[in-house]
Amino acid sequence: MRIEPQIDGVVARSAHPYGCEAAIKQQIEYVKRAPQITQGPKRVLILGASSGFGLAARIALTFGGAKADTIGVSFERGPSEKGTGSAGWYNNIFFKAQAQKEGRTAINIVGDAFAQETREQVIEAIETYFDGEVDLIIYSLATGMRPIPGKPGEFWRSVIKPYGQPITGASLDLQHDRWIETTLEPASDEEAEHTIKVMGGEDWQSWVDALINTESIAEGCKTIAFSYIGPEVTHPIYLDGTLGRAKIDLHQTSHALNLEMANFNGSAYATVCKALVTKASVFIPALSPYLLALYKVMKAEQCHETCIEQMQRLFSTKLYGQAKVDVDGERLIRIDELELAPHIQQKVNALLSEMNGDNFKQLGDYEGYKDEFLKLNGFGFESVDYTQEIDLADLKKLRP
C-alpha cells in the first residue's frame, strides 16, 4: 500500500514510518552539531517519550553531548488491519535503532503511564538496565483523560475552556485549510477540577514518590515537567483558563517535589517552553492564529525554535553545565524568553490585529504551521519516497 496523509480536522489518521525515521535522523543531526550538553545525566527516565518535547529531550540527551541511556514510556499503537499505527510507535522504533548504533541503551515501554503494571515495568527496567537508579526524570505526558484510582472504567477528563465568561477565537481545520470562528463556553467547577487532575502535577508527584519508595532515585537526581505560560494575548484561553490552572498546579508541585528531591541533593523544576505546533497544541482553540503570527515573526527575526532546538538549549544552557540551574523568581526554568521578547510580541500583536479568515494564509505562516504538523506524522521530508509501496506485513515486523 501507499501511505498518504489522512487528516480529520486536526487529527492525523495516518503516519509514514520512514518519514518518522527521517524526522529522528534530522533531529539527531541537529543536536550533534549544536552546542553540546556537558555534565549531563547518564540514566534518564522519560514519561511520554514518543513525540513532542519528550521525544526531543530523549534525542538531545542521547546524541547531544550527554550520551545518556534512556527508558521511554509511551502509549502508542502499532500497525494493524485498521491502519498504519501511530507516529509515536515508529519514533520509538527508529530512535532505539539509532541509539543502539552508538552503543546507547534505549528501552521502550509501551503502556499506559497511569497503570500500576507500567510502573512496575519501569522500576524493573531501572533495576535491570540502570543499576537501580535514575539521574533524571522527565514528565512529558499529554493526554485528555486519566483513570480514577480505585474506580475501574471511570476517568477524569480534561477540557480546554475559559473561566467566568465565554470567549470567541479562531481554530484551524487542517483537513480543509479553513479558519473557523469558535466560541467556547466557560468551564464548570467540576470540569476545572478534572482538568487539574489530568494535566496538573498530581501524577508527576505520584511517579516521583513511587521511585523514591523503591529507592530508584540517584544522588543528585533532577526531575522536570513541561509547561507553558504565553503572552497576554493568549491568557484568556490558556493561562486564565482550565489549562493554565492545571499548569499552575504543576508549578506548585515542582516546589513540593523540590523539597523531596533535596533529600538526594537533587531538585525539581517546571520548565516553561515556547508555543509550538504539537499533537496537543493544535487542539487549543484561539491559539492557532497566535502560532501563525508567532512563526512568521520569529522566522523573520531568525530566532524560531522547534522542539529539538528548545530541548538542546534547555539541557546545554539551563539545566546542566552551569554553576546553578537558571530559574526565574518563581523557580521556573524559562526557555520561552525569545517568544516573549517585547519586540517579538509587538510584531505578533500587529499581525494578529489584521489577521482573519480571508488573509490568514498570507499574513501568517500557515504553510510552516501545516508543514510542521505533517512532519510530526512523517510527511513532507524530501529524503523520503512517498510513492513507495509499503507492505503491512513488513511494518508489523518492526518492534519498539
Greatest C-alpha distance within the chain: 59
139 phi, psi to nearest 5 deg? -105, 110
CA distance 53 to 61: 12
Query: Could you say which DSSP state residue 165 is in?
Result: S
292 is in an annotated binding site: no
CA distance 259 to 325: 16
Q: Which of 282, 280, 259, 281 is nearest to 269 (CA)?
A: 259
103 is in an annotated binding site: no
Report whether pLDDT(280) > 80: no
Share of the chain above pLDDT 70, in %: 100
Domains of the chain with bracketed CATH: 7-161+190-283+305-337+389-396 (3.40.50.720)
Question: Is the backbone of residue 230 left (phi > 0), alpha (psi -120 to 50) or beta?
Answer: left
- 231-258 pLDDT tens trace: 999 998 889 999 999 999 999 999 999 9
pLDDT category at 314 given cuts 50, 70, 90 is: very high
33, amino acid identity = R
Return the higher-pLDDT residue of 225 and 83: 225
CA distance 118 to 111: 6
Query: Could you say which DSSP state residue 58 is in?
Result: H
Place of cell 491568557: 235
Instruction: Give the per-residue pLDDT at 278.
Output: 84
Strand-pairing partners, residue 47, are 73, 139
Average the pLDDT over 394-398 and give the result: 91
Find out whether 9 and 175 touch, Cβ atoms under 8 Å. yes
Q: What is this structure's pTM? A: 0.97
320, amino acid identity = Y
Which range (101-110, 159-168, 310-319) has the least confidence? 159-168
Average the pLDDT over 342-356 and give the result: 97
Average pLDDT, the chain: 95
112 is in an annotated binding site: yes
- 21-60 pLDDT tens trace: 999 999 999 999 999 999 999 999 999 999 999 999 999 9
Average the pLDDT over 204-226 and give the result: 98
Average the pLDDT over 218-226 and give the result: 98
Beta-sheet pairing, 267-272 with 145-147: unpaired
95 is in an annotated binding site: no
List, by residue number, the catalytic residues: 238
Strand-pairing partners, residue 74, are 110
CA distance 31 to 59: 8
144 is in an annotated binding site: no
